[in-house]
Amino acid sequence: MRNVIILAAGEGKRMKSALPKVLHPLLGRTLVGHVLAATESFLDNGTVTVVVGHGADQVRAHLEQVAPAAVPVTQAEQRGTGHAVRIALDANPEIAGTVVVLNGDIPLLRAETLAALVHTHETTKAAATVLTAEVADPTGLGRIVRNRGGEFAAIVEERDATPAQRAIREINSGAYVFEAAALREMLGKLSTDNDQGEEYLTDVIGLLAEAGSPIVAHRAPDATETLGANDRAELAGLRAIMRDRVNDEWMRAGVAIIDPATTWIDVTVTLERDAVVEPNTHLRGATSIGEGAVVGPDTSLIDVVVGAGATVLRTHALSSEIGPQASVGPFAYLRPGSRLGVKAKIGTFVETKAATLGDGAKVPHLSYVGDAEIGEGTNIGAATVFVNYDGVKKQRSVIGAHARTGADNMFVAPVHVGDGAYTAAGSVIVKDVPPGALGVSRAHQRNIEGWVERKRPGTAAAVAAAEANAVFQEREEHHVDPGPVVERPAPDEQ
Ligand code: UD1
Ligand code: CA
């Protein structure tokens, strides 16, 4: 049986954060979430134990969400990585066979690399197999010390190392595989005789080597996989590596990423071929992008499904569905529960929430559509507001299919506009409009002649009006065709 122990009790002081280090986010998962995900491929129904300590409640709550099968074990005082593993094994006396131990702060480890590590361990029948890497700058890491014959002899922490050992560039990644019985035995023999006064897991290796047990070093094919983050600057470095890795994979899968340096795609996102991701675009969570869809530039999509051939331009959208060949933006804000049908359109400066647009329905300009259903083929006039909130409760409005609503309408919920109905521009619609009817609700216009010259004498408006009226009168007297510029309607009857 295979078993995994993840060490996640440390505080991560240098993050200077209220959040425990392992819960910091990195392109769609937390640090510990990435480590957990990488174990799935080889776990084979084994156990997963996570050692928690600092921020234990937060870490437990997170595990409940992302890995409910993982069993948290509390290490009340952080007395070292060896102490942490000992607590995990003591809490699980049934653990036998292969035990994979992973530091919770090495999120770039690939699942394939871990699977290869486990494979090496099981085929060589080693007592312990350590994932190592050759790095340019080994500062702060445990060094792999070999004996004269080149055999793996021990891991020495930097602070306990001699100058000669510090010069070694082969480092301990913090990923190991042990044979459970050998691990248990040596954990019982750990001392705290080191610079930090802690029980080091790494000392298990030296003890096993001394006892003549076979130890194997498995080199990571890509040293960046073993990088950890101790502060936020290092975390940003890891994030950039992960971004490049994710973008490279999608480009190789047929996705066009115009500017990979400004494109941030969570590991949980999927894209179909010929999708185009324009610069400065963030695709997060459970987002999926259909074939040939174009997203961005300057767009953030969080848990959004984008259909094939849709375009989403300068948009911020959350928990929404954008249908095939639909068009969104520029400058749109789709809040949760927005659902657009095939070829539907959300245009410029439009906000939607819990709104359904049927196939081909359009809300092209300057509108708020909250708690509404808009039928297929319907066009909503510019500057429309679905007035969904009466100060106490939110209510829904429905506009039927193939309706034409005028510009600057207020639909005061709950209101129903029938199929094929029209509403007049500037209307406040508070009553249902039957199918095919025209809903109008506004005062008739009246023009008060000469108002500006009487009430605002001497202003630029009054001068302009006087000039226009003079020209008009002149032409009337000489029976000149007034032309389109000075044409004016007859005064209203007062
Ligand atoms: C450790 C290794 C070092 C290796 C490096 C790789 C030891 C002694 N050293 O050093 O050889 O090169 O990782 O990144 O193991 N933790 C607990 N309980 C504790 C202490 C730590 O759960 O009492 C957890 C931490 O939360 C962290 C992991 O163990 O996830 C590693 O601990 P950390 O203090 O970061 O060890 P390093 O000094 O990085
Ligand atoms: Ca570390």
| pLDDT for position 456 | 98
Question: Which regions of the chain are under pLDDT 50?
Answer: 493-494
Ligand 1 atom closest to Cα of residue 84? 18
Closest CA to 340 of 372, 297, 292: 372
Count Cβ neighbours within 10 Å for each residue of 413-448 and write b for 16 or more, e otherwise. bebbbbbbbbbbebbebeeebeeeeebeeeeeeeee
Closest Cα partner for 379 from 356, 351, 354, 357?
357
Asked whether 386 and 413 are in contact (CB, 8 A), the reply is yes
Q: Token match 């986010």: residue?
A: 25
Contact 83, 58 (CB under 8 A): no
| 80 labelled ligand-binding | yes
Distance separating alpha carbons of residues 329 and 413, to the nearest angstrom: 25
Q: How, if at all, do strands 47-52 and 71-74 pair?
A: parallel
Q: Is the CB of 104 under 6 A from ligand 1?
A: yes
DSSP 48: E
Provide the token pair at 40: 């799935």
Give the pair of three-digit tokens for residue 394: 């939110």
**Which residue has tokens 């699977």?**
115
How much is the pLDDT for 492? 58
Name the residue among 69, 94, 66, 70 with its Cα closest to residue 7: 70
Residue by residue, DSSP assigns 386-422 as EE-B-SS-B--EEE-TT-EEPSS-EEESS-EE-TT-E
What's the gap in Å between 9 CA and the centre of ligand 1?
A: 9
Q: What is the pLDDT of residue 494?
A: 41
How far apart CA 314 and CA 299 sit, in angstroms, is 5
CB-ligand 1 contact for 49 (6 Å cutoff): no
User: What single-letter DSSP state applies at residue 493?
Assistant: P
Q: Is 456 annotated as a binding residue?
A: no
Atom of ligand 1 nearest to the CA of 171: 12
Query: Residue 82's closest CA among 30, 155, 159, 171?
Result: 155
Q: How do beta strands 170-179 and 128-134 pair?
A: antiparallel
Q: Say which amino acid occupies 368.
A: Y
Cβ(318) – ligand 1 distance below 6 Å: no
Of the candidates 298, 231, 234, 311, the residue with the CA atom closest to the CA atom of residue 264: 298
Residues 6+ apart with CB under 8 A from 314: 296, 297, 298, 299, 329, 330, 331, 332
In single-letter form, the type of residue at position 221 comes to P
Q: Which residue has its alpha carbon closest to ligand 1 atom 3?
A: 142
The yes-or-no answer on residue 479 being catalytic is: no
30 three-class SS: strand
435: preceding bond cis by omega (within 30 degrees): no
Instruction: Report pLDDT for 154.
Output: 97
Residue among 54, 83, 282, 365 flagged as catalytic: 365
What angle is formed at CA 356 by the lines to CA 299 and CA 371, rounded to 5 degrees?
95
pLDDT of residue 489: 59
Torsion of the alpha carbons at 8, 34, 216 and 88, rounded to the nearest 10: 30
Residue 368 annotated as binding site: yes
Task: Tell me which residue of 315, 405, 376 sits closest to 351, measured CA to CA.
Answer: 315
Task: Identify the pLDDT of residue 491.
Answer: 59
Q: What is the pTM of this model?
A: 0.92
In this structure, what are the phi and psi dihedrals at residue 93, rounded to the nearest 5 degrees? -65, -20
Tokens of 275: 């999708």
The H or E element that residue 216 is part of is strand 215-219
Chain-centroid distance of CA 82 in Å reads 35
Q: State residue 67 phi and psi, 5-degree precision.
A: -150, 70
